Chains A and B, each alone.
Chain A
Amino acid sequence: MLAEKALDLVRELHRSLGGTLSPYNEDKIRQVLEEMQTLYDQNKDGAQFAAEGQTDLISAIQVRHAGIQRNKRCLLAYLYTRLEQIRKMRWEFGSVLPPDVKYNMCEQEVQWFNQYNRLLANYMRSVGESGGLDLTQDMKPPKTLYVLVRCIADHGEFETQDGNTVLFKKNSQHYLLRSECEHLIRQGVLEHIIQ
């Protein structure tokens, strides 16, 4: 059916919107482009005949043209939404994407990602007074600057920003700057205690 494949692409995208990036479906995109090419070729011929006086062809041409337009819209939607997804991931995961996400991206997307990365880094360096500001850190305003954490594993000494050292020993509890211990919480060294 006309423009069926393009719709498939959009459906596929819709299924994967839950946070994961689906693999870049190069095959299907090629098929859609081929379909568009065929339609275009048919239209080109049809247009010639129509100009010569076969007016009954005009409606067929219009249908094909609508198909081409639709395919185009679908493709653009596919690509753009993927870019949006990748951009969102930059803010979530930081400048280095996990390998499984990277594997699902096409070459152009990787390129775009790197450029976006550079732009964002440049911008973050320019705001704030000294050394810039990490905009990705607190996406929502945090409720408290400090959090209470408990060590789940022996981690050894840890130097805080103000130059003090804190010993992370199993089952000790600490009240620390949220920004400092966030990555340790992600690593599974600390556990955030909600009071």
Chain B
Amino acid sequence: MLIKDFRRDFYDVLQHQRVLVLVAFDVDALCACKILQYLFQCDQVLYTIVPVDGLQELEHAFLENAEGIRHVILINCGAAVDIVEMLQPEDHVRFYICDSHRPVDVHNFYNAVQVKLLMREDELSSMPAYDDLFRDDGEDESEESDSENDDPETGYKRKRFDDESIIRRQDRRRWNESRVKTLFDYSKFTSYGTSAALMMFELAWKLSKDTNSLLWLAIVGVTDQFVHYRTPRDKYMEDIMSLQSHVSRHNQRGADDENIMSVNCLRVSFEEELYLPLYRHWKLFDSICHSMPIACKLRLWSLKGQKRLHEFLAEMGLPLTQCKQQYSAMDTAMRSEVKVKILEYMNKYGLEIQDVIIPSFTMQYGYKHLLCATDFVYAAAAALESVDRLRLPTDNFLAATEILQRCVSRKIEAGLESAKLQLRGVVNQVQSFLDMHQIISAGPFLYVCVQEGTADSRFFSHPQCLLRLARYTLQAHCSVSRNKRVRSLPLVLGAPLSIEEGRSIMVGIPPLDTDDERKNFFGKAFEQAAESTNTVVRFNSFDSHIIEMKTEDRSKFFDALISILQ
């Protein structure tokens, strides 16, 4: 059931109760969780937080912690599956789902007692009508027909061939068909709704408990959705605009000297940011090389592309010696000009404003460098998907939490360093894909596999980084390929998950020309391909377009996928 009044139906119900919070492994969920934590600590609500990495772990974590728990909050997980069916909870358990995954499972939506959805109403408007999905009187009948199928002899005796029952049966069959069709239409595409962090922030705002740091978390959550290709640009802009009003409300100070804020306060400000990853903490040259839109437009992986980049920099009047040293050590005069110059000369190199500018927020805290929201997302995501094999996933989760805490600047810097490694890994991998011509067109889609044992393959056993790689690969391929059709082809990318067990992870992303809708049809396609080939595929991830399978089944699976998508 959809909750209309978050405060009355969600927050007030939880007072003086013990709550179990299950959090998915993404930056948005982490931010939402931290906002919720703050609210609970204000009101002394006891809680337990368990990070869950996949559906199986969700089930496991619920079973382990369910004792005596009446309220379970799911953050960025669980909306797309029938949660009551999956977890088999006792009747008094209530689930509160704050999840940006769409579509929401119909059973979750129409369960009025146990499942409460914390979502925006307008995002669920495509939900099929109740009457199309459930028929209360039909329940017995279907059981009856089931038993008839099981035991044809006794059923035959009972069957009455009067007109009325035949009509009823026909009617029922027709209804069933239309139900399957409606359900399929509804769940054909997976997409993402409003960020969970933003929803939680709005709750905090309604409770008048919003602070600047909560606002920052909401910003990071929204930015995460954009950086990981979950929301279209329009939606991102819309969210940014609504956040901007909060930002100006919280950071409003008079201009006179008496009202200057202490440097130890968090200051957030809106800015038209350069869309270059981590450039404030890197070298400008490296940052440009690792920025997807620019690298793809200039084809930086080729010698010619490198030349063009040098030309571009020369024309802007930025000497290479300046560009190749730490951004923070560049000449201040030059630093302030970078944005203006890039904007001035970008048209000549075929760059558009969307490629280089992103409206975003920056924050300053203490005497440290200015940090941008995207920097935070990269750092936290890199910490979440750390490649250190000795660390448990939950260790990574806590490390990412500490980064978002933002007071330990040492941790943030370490996160930024590993984010750079990740970005380098992605770029190198794309380069080797292109150099070796590994991207193969399978007819209805492109596919490419990360070779086992390459130096960077360890980065790609994690979903978010894999997704970024897939997006980068597709865009790079489109910019290289002469074939016009390429833009309408989706991409499937496989990467080794664990070489010892011979398992690999697979991700499917939509074609570039419909990219801005951010709708992904691979969830259903993978499901059908798995069914038709009888391969053992684990749909463990909360995103249905990311699956795990045995490496040896891969070619069989691809064949089935080709026949389905044709």
Contacts and interface: CB of A to CB of B under 8 A. Distances in A.
Interface of A: 144-146, 148, 150, 157, 163-167, 169-176, 195
Interface in B23-46: 37, 40-41, 44-46
B455 interface: no
B47 A174 contact: yes
A167 B394 CA distance: 16
12 contacts: A146-B46, A164-B18, A165-B67, A167-B64, A170-B394, A171-B51, A172-B48, A174-B46, A175-B37, A175-B46, A175-B48, A195-B41
Contacts of A195: 41, 405
B397 interface: yes
Contacts of B392: 170-171
A173 B405 CA distance: 15
Contacts of A173: 48-49, 398
Contacts of A172: 48-50, 65, 394
Contacts of A150: 398
Contacts of A165: 67-68
B395 interface: yes
A176 B47 CA distance: 8
A171 B394 contact: yes
A157 B41 CA distance: 23
A174 B68 contact: no
Q: What 3 A-B pairs are tightest by C-beta distance, nearest first? A: A171-B394, A173-B49, A164-B68
Contacts of A157: 67
Contacts of B395: 171
Contacts of A169: 50, 64
A146 B397 contact: no
A15 B416 CA distance: 48
B48 A174 contact: yes
Contact of B44 (A146, A164, A167, A174): A146
B59 to A, nearest CB: 15
Among A157, A164, A172, A195, residue most surrounded by chain B Cβ atoms (within 10 Å): A172
Given A148-B37, A169-B64, A172-B49, 8 more contacts: A148-B41, A157-B67, A170-B394, A173-B398, A174-B47, A174-B48, A175-B41, A175-B46
Nearest to A172: B50
A173 B176 CA distance: 46
A166 B19 CA distance: 11
A172 B393 CA distance: 12
A169 B57 CA distance: 13
A193 to B, nearest CB: 9
Contact of A176 (B46, B67, B405): B46
B185 to A, nearest CB: 40
A45 B41 CA distance: 78
A81 B398 CA distance: 47
A175 B398 contact: no
A172 B394 CA distance: 8
Contacts of A175: 37, 40-41, 45-48
Contact of A166 (B45, B48, B394): B48
Nearest to B19: A175
Given A146-B44, A164-B18, A165-B68, A171 B405 contact: no
Contacts of B67: 157, 164-165, 167
Contacts of B49: 172-174
Nearest to B396: A171
Contact of A171 (B37, B40, B64, B398): B398
Contacts of B44: 145-146
B58 to A, nearest CB: 14
Nearest to B402: A193
B68 A167 contact: no
A137 to B, nearest CB: 19
A172 to B, nearest CB: 5
Contacts of B46: 146, 174-176
B423 to A, nearest CB: 27
B533 to A, nearest CB: 37
Nearest to B34: A195
B532 to A, nearest CB: 39
A195 B213 CA distance: 12
Interface in B64-115: 64-65, 67-68
Nearest to B68: A164
Contacts of B394: 170-172
B433 to A, nearest CB: 36
Contacts of A144: 41
Contacts of A145: 44
Contacts of A164: 18, 67-68
B397 A167 contact: no
Contacts of B51: 171
Nearest to B397: A171
A146 B46 CA distance: 8
Nearest to A177: B46
Among A148, A169, A175, residue most surrounded by chain B Cβ atoms (within 10 Å): A175
A171 B67 CA distance: 19
A195 B395 CA distance: 18
Interface in B223-269: none
A144 B38 CA distance: 13
Contacts of B18: 164
A82 to B, nearest CB: 43
Contacts of A171: 51, 392, 394-395, 397-398
A192 to B, nearest CB: 14
A125 B445 CA distance: 78
Contacts of A148: 37, 41
A174 B49 CA distance: 6
Among A144, A146, A157, A170, residue most surrounded by chain B Cβ atoms (within 10 Å): A146
A157 B45 CA distance: 20
Nearest to B66: A167
A164 B68 CA distance: 6
A167 B65 contact: yes
A53 to B, nearest CB: 83
A174 to B, nearest CB: 5
A190 B47 CA distance: 15
A163 B398 CA distance: 28
A195 B38 CA distance: 10
Contacts of B64: 167, 169
A176 B51 CA distance: 18
A20 B37 CA distance: 41
A163 B37 CA distance: 23
A158 to B, nearest CB: 11
B249 to A, nearest CB: 23
A135 to B, nearest CB: 24
A157 B68 CA distance: 12
A120 B395 CA distance: 44
